[in-house]
Structure formats: C-alpha cells, structure tokens
Structure 1
Amino acid sequence: MTTADSPNGRRLTARGAKTRLRIVAAAANLMYIQGVGTTTLDDVIAASGVSKSQLYHHFAGKDALVRAVVDHIGEQVIERERDALAHVSTIPGLRRWRDALVQNNAVRHGAYGCALGSLASGVSDHDDVARRALSQLFNEWQGLLAGVLRRLQDRGALPPEAPIDQLATGLVGALQGGYMLAQTARDVTPMATSIDMALTYIESLSAR
C-alpha cells in the first residue's frame, strides 16, 4: 500500500494510511445516510473501530474529517462518471447512462440522494473550503457531460451553435434536482422524468 500525507505534513506508514482510510470510509457512509450535521465524531469512532486518539492523530476535528470525506466521495463519484461517460457519443448512450443512475438509485427507493449533493446540502453554508471542493467536483462532472455533448456535436447530432456548456449545466441541474425529488418522494420516477426532460430538449436541438 502506498503512503499518504498526514495532517502535520509527515508521510503516513502503510498501516497509518489504512487506518485513515477506514476512518474516512466510515464517516462517508454515516454522513451519506444520516447527514453531515447529525454525524458526530463519536459515531465515526464507533463505526470505524478506532480509538479517539487514533482519530485525532489523523484529523484535527470534524471540519478536517468532512473535507476528507468530500475528497473521498468525490473521487469515487468522478471515477464512476468518467468510466460511464468516457465512450458515450450518442443520445441512446446518454439514455443508457440515465438508466444506470436511475436503476442504482431505485435500489434504495431514492433514499439519501446523490452522495455529492447530500454533502453539498450539509456543508456549503458552513465550510467554505469544503464548498469550493464540492464546486470543483460538480464542475468536473459537468465537464464530463460537456465532453459527451461535444462528441455529439462532432458527429452532427447537435448543431454547431448548440450551447454545450449551458446544456451540460442544465443536465447536471436536472440530475441533482431529480435526486432530491426522488429522495423526498422515496420514488425514482421524478428523477427519471427530470433527466428525460433535459435529454429530450437536447435531442430536439438536432431536429432543428
């Protein structure tokens, strides 16, 4: 296992890095399910099986842990989306991407919403460092979708004047809004509808 940097700037041993990852993974799961605000450090200690001294060895406090969770979840989400969107260059491909997200969310009947969106709701008004990190992650996600739309444009499926960046922003907005509606309804139908409306509009541009 590779080493990682500790909060004090020293390199962690492989064992230390493993402990740190266990803490972050446990915190990420708790914060996703029960929210950032209601997750305490004692909850994380119990879930990760570490001691209080071990947790504070790696994190100065909850803010530092939350920022590590943002990085951890962000890496997972962006890697997943990069893999899912890397070779998409058609509207049917985008619809298959939509189907996979909806089906995955349907397993929980829409509960908990998007992992990044849930974090954004919990930290954006309280931690500017975490907010900026989340903003960058959403920009990366939007950039991946913009890449898909540019490939559509290159293939002639979208007109040259199509506003690619704005369309990608709208698609991310429809997705995140859909996650929230599904979360409150405990039903993924509103999520599917929200993304479908965005994709239908994108597809309509080619007909023009």
Structure 2
Amino acid sequence: MDETVRATAAARLTTRGARTRSRIIATAADLMYVRGIGGTTLDDVVSVSKVSKSQLYRHFVDKPALVRAVVEFVGERTIDVERERLGNVRTFAGLRRWRDAIVEQNALHDGRYGCPLGSLANEVSDQDAVVRGKLDDLFKAWRELFEGLVHRFQEDGLIPQDTDAAKLAIGFVAAVQGGYLLAQTSRDVAPMATAIDMSIAHLDLLSRERAEGL
C-alpha cells in the first residue's frame, strides 16, 4: 500500500471515529437528559447509540470522561441557542418573545426534565471539580448574554445608565433556573412563566421610572 493510500485510509478512519464519538456523546446527552446521569449506564449508551463497548472505551476511558464530554456538548448547544435568541434583543417586545420561546420549549414535556445545564449541575457539581468548573463557565456565559441585553437597553435609552447590568443578569438566570425547577416539580410551566415575567417586570419598572424622570 503506497503512502497516498495509507493517508487516505487513515483520514477515513479518523473521520469515522469522529462521527462515532459524536454519536456516542449525543446519545448519552439525550439519555441523561431524560433519565439523569445516575440513571444512565454505559451499557444503555452502547445499546442506543449502536456502537460496541470497545468503540465506546476507545473514546472514553470511563463514565466520568463521557459525562465531561456531555457537559461540553450540552453546554455549547444551550449557549448557542440562547445566543441566537438573546443576542439581538433590543426591545421589551423582543424580550417577551424570548420568554415565550423558552417557556413553550419547556412546555413540550410539561416541564418534566428541567434545564439541560441545571440538571447536569445538580447531579455532578459535588462529584467532579472539572465538570463544576465547566458548568460555572457556561453559566457565566449565559449571564453575559443577559448583561449584553441590559447594556443594549441602556444604550437605547430604555433603562437608566446606572442600572447594575451584572446583578440584573444574575437575577434573570436565577429566574430561569428557578422557573425550570418549579415547572419540573409541578409538571406545569406556569410558575416558570411567572418567574421570568417578574424579572421582565423589574426591567419595565426601571424603564417607567426613567421615563418619569425625564
């Protein structure tokens, strides 16, 4: 076999291996979202992803390694979705459309499974410092999206310039996460909608106070 053929074969195997790894992670993420990390075994992942155990262990030495990969995958997917939803919001109407989208998405399963990131954080933050650090970074990225929204509202004169964007962002993330938890326990997204509405109402109050002060 000449070098060109060897290189082509190696590239094909590498591509195939990357696809297999991605399939394992995506399958594990879906299973862990529904069953939880503790309720998902490596045998489950092997069966559903239709790979062999040797293929799984070629990419992940143990379950913690797979969980870390799942956290990265779910985190990037979650933040990408939120970046698309929040990245260009500059009006209260746009903010309420974001609220409707996130609540309606959670309503598809009656709020049963909670936030993908929050659920992972609840299960592994105390067991894996690496995962905890990664989740902390992801939640920071989420808060930064809300901070960006607040800054845009300030730039457009909707709320006062001295509004503390960082604190408001923490409040929004807390409202979303608390809303997910309330929806999960009640199997009803109404409490989630109310929690987010309260954060939006606070912004609206700031807007009204600014308008009255002009």
Three-state SS of the structure 1 residue aligned to 2:114 is coil
Q: Where do residues 30-109 of structure 1 align in structure 2 (5 Å cutoff)? A: 30-109=31-110
In the alignment, the residues of structure 2 paired with residue 202 and residue 131 of structure 1 have an alpha-carbon distance, to the nearest angstrom, of: 31
TM-superposed CA distance for 1:40, in Å, is: 0.9
In the alignment, the residues of structure 2 paired with residue 198 and residue 180 of structure 1 have an alpha-carbon distance, to the nearest angstrom, of: 16
In the alignment, the residues of structure 2 paired with residue 163 and residue 88 of structure 1 have an alpha-carbon distance, to the nearest angstrom, of: 18
> Which residue identity lines up with residue 135 of structure 2 in the other structure?
L
RMSD: 0.9
In the alignment, the residues of structure 1 paired with residue 207 and residue 84 of structure 2 have an alpha-carbon distance, to the nearest angstrom, of: 26
Structure 1 equivalent of residue 187 of structure 2: 186
In the alignment, the residues of structure 1 paired with residue 201 and residue 86 of structure 2 have an alpha-carbon distance, to the nearest angstrom, of: 18
> Which residue identity lines up with residue 118 of structure 1 in the other structure?
S
TM-superposed CA distance for 1:141, in Å, is: 0.8
Tell me how many residue pairs correspond in the alignment. Answer: 197
Structure 1 equivalent of residue 8 of structure 2: none
TM-superposed CA distance for 1:205, in Å, is: 1.0
Structure 1 equivalent of residue 131 of structure 2: 130
Measured against aligned partners, the alpha-carbon deviations of 1:151-193 in whole angstroms (never above 9, x if no partner) come to 0001111101101010001000000000000011000000000
Measured against aligned partners, the alpha-carbon deviations of 1:68-94 in whole angstroms (never above 9, x if no partner) come to 000111111111111111210112211
Structure 2 equivalent of residue 3 of structure 1: none
Structure 2 equivalent of residue 21 of structure 1: 22
Structure 2 equivalent of residue 8 of structure 1: none
Structure 1 equivalent of residue 6 of structure 2: none
In the alignment, the residues of structure 2 paired with residue 90 and residue 138 of structure 1 have an alpha-carbon distance, to the nearest angstrom, of: 23
> Which residue identity lines up with residue 79 of structure 1 in the other structure?
D
> Which residue identity lines up with residue 124 of structure 1 in the other structure?
S
TM-superposed CA distance for 1:207, in Å, is: 1.7
Three-state SS of the structure 2 residue aligned to 1:13 is helix
> Which residue identity lines up with residue 176 of structure 2 in the other structure?
L
Structure 2 equivalent of residue 115 of structure 1: 116
TM-score (norm 1): 0.93
> Which residue identity lines up with residue 146 of structure 1 in the other structure?
E
Structure 2 equivalent of residue 143 of structure 1: 144
More helix by share: 2
Is residue 199 from structure 1 mapped to residue 196 from structure 2 by the alignment? Answer: no
TM-superposed CA distance for 1:37, in Å, is: 1.3
In the alignment, the residues of structure 2 paired with residue 180 and residue 17 of structure 1 have an alpha-carbon distance, to the nearest angstrom, of: 35
Unaligned runs of 5+ residues in structure 2 are 1-12, 210-214
TM-score (norm 2): 0.90
How high is the sequence identity, in percent, across the aligned residues? 56
In the alignment, the residues of structure 1 paired with residue 22 and residue 179 of structure 2 have an alpha-carbon distance, to the nearest angstrom, of: 31
